[in-house]
């Protein structure tokens, strides 16, 4: 039995994996879907203002501690690629597999801001104008999304090298939004790195909603054919 820890991308909570969780559980695995600090419905303004990348990595590590989890598969979507990289680097060997689901794969000293493209930098800059510390969700998409802590987008990651020693590291490239994706160059880089396995899914960025069966199959190590998708939503 595997243990999956699912970490959502920007503006989202554990609910973003709601279509995938039962598929993994039905296969007999333990599944933990997280909501990061600053994204919880009862988080106050001070909590949102002070949450950064370290805070979110600590969220993952505390969850591992509280649930006595070892040999975990960490799955991070989008922004959460930064989070699972930071957490895995500090987890003391408790992570056996990383899955960056259309997600950032940072190198030491990089940030979400430095790794993304101009389109998303403009989205975040415009979204932070109202408060200066929280980025409102882009228009459209799931109404459960919440303002995202700006500091988590800006903080640079510090990696000791332990992240690169996780035994199994995978990157999933979603090819159905190539007009805006910030991950095309990353896909090329990881394809050339023998330490990484790269998968392609013919979906938009919100693969968990568009093609949950295909995402679950990939996480379960099954062969993924061209995936039928649900109606696409605009998500980041």
For residues 173 and 188, give the distance between their C-alpha atoms in angstroms, rounded to a whole number.
10
What Å distances lie between residue 57 and 111, 144, 194, CA to CA? 14, 22, 26
3-state secondary structure (DSSP) of residue 21: helix
Could you give the percent of the chain with pLDDT greater than 70? 94
The CATH H-level (homologous superfamily) assignment of domain 3-219 is: Alpha/Beta hydrolase fold, catalytic domain (3.40.50.1820)
Could you give the percent of the chain with pLDDT greater than 90? 92
Cα dihedral: 84, 85, 89, 95 (round 10): 50
DSSP class of residue 147 equals P
**Would you say the pTM of this structure is higher than 0.85?**
yes
Tell me: pLDDT of 151 over 60: yes
- Whether 97 and 167 have beta carbons less than 8 Å apart is answered as yes
Tell me: pLDDT of 230 over 60: no
DSSP class of residue 126 equals H
Q: What is the pLDDT of residue 146?
A: 98
For residues 16 and 22, give the distance between their C-alpha atoms in angstroms, rounded to a whole number.
13
- Mean pLDDT for 125-137 is 98
For residues 160 and 67, give the distance between their C-alpha atoms in angstroms, rounded to a whole number.
25
Give, in degrees to the nearest 5, the angle at Cα 14 between 95 and 131. Answer: 110
Tell me: pLDDT of 232 over 90: no
For residues 144 and 199, give the distance between their C-alpha atoms in angstroms, rounded to a whole number.
29
Q: What is the pLDDT of residue 222?
A: 78
The 10 Å CB-count burial string (b at 16+, else e) for 103-133 is bbbbeeebbbeebbeeebeebbeebbeeeeb
């Amino acid at each position: 039995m595997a243990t999956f820890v699912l970490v959502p991308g920007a503006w989202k909570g554990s609910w973003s994996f709601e279509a995938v969780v039962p598929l993994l559980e039905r296969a007999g695995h333990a599944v933990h879907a997280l909501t990061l600090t600053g994204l919880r419905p009862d988080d106050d303004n001070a909590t949102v203002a002070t949450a950064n990348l370290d805070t979110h990595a600590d969220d993952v590590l505390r969850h591992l501690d509280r649930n006595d989890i070892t040999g975990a598969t960490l799955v991070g979507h989008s922004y959460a690629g930064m989070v699972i990289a930071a957490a895995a680097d500090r987890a003391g060997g408790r992570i056996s597999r990383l899955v960056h689901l259309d997600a950032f794969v940072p190198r030491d000293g990089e940030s979400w801001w430095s790794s993304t493209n101009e389109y998303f930098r403009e989205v975040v800059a415009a979204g932070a104008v109202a408060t200066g510390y929280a980025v409102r969700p882009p228009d459209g998409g799931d109404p459960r999304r919440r303002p995202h802590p700006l500091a988590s987008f800006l903080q640079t990651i510090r990696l000791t090298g332990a992240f690169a020693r996780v035994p199994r590291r995978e990157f999933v490239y979603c090819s159905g939004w190539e007009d805006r994706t910030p991950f095309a160059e990353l896909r090329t880089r990881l394809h050339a790195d023998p330490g990484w396995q790269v998968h392609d899914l013919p979906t938009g960025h919100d693969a968990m909603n568009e093609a949950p069966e295909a995402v679950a199959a990939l996480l379960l190590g099954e062969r993924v054919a061209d995936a039928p998708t649900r109606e696409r939503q605009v998500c980041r």
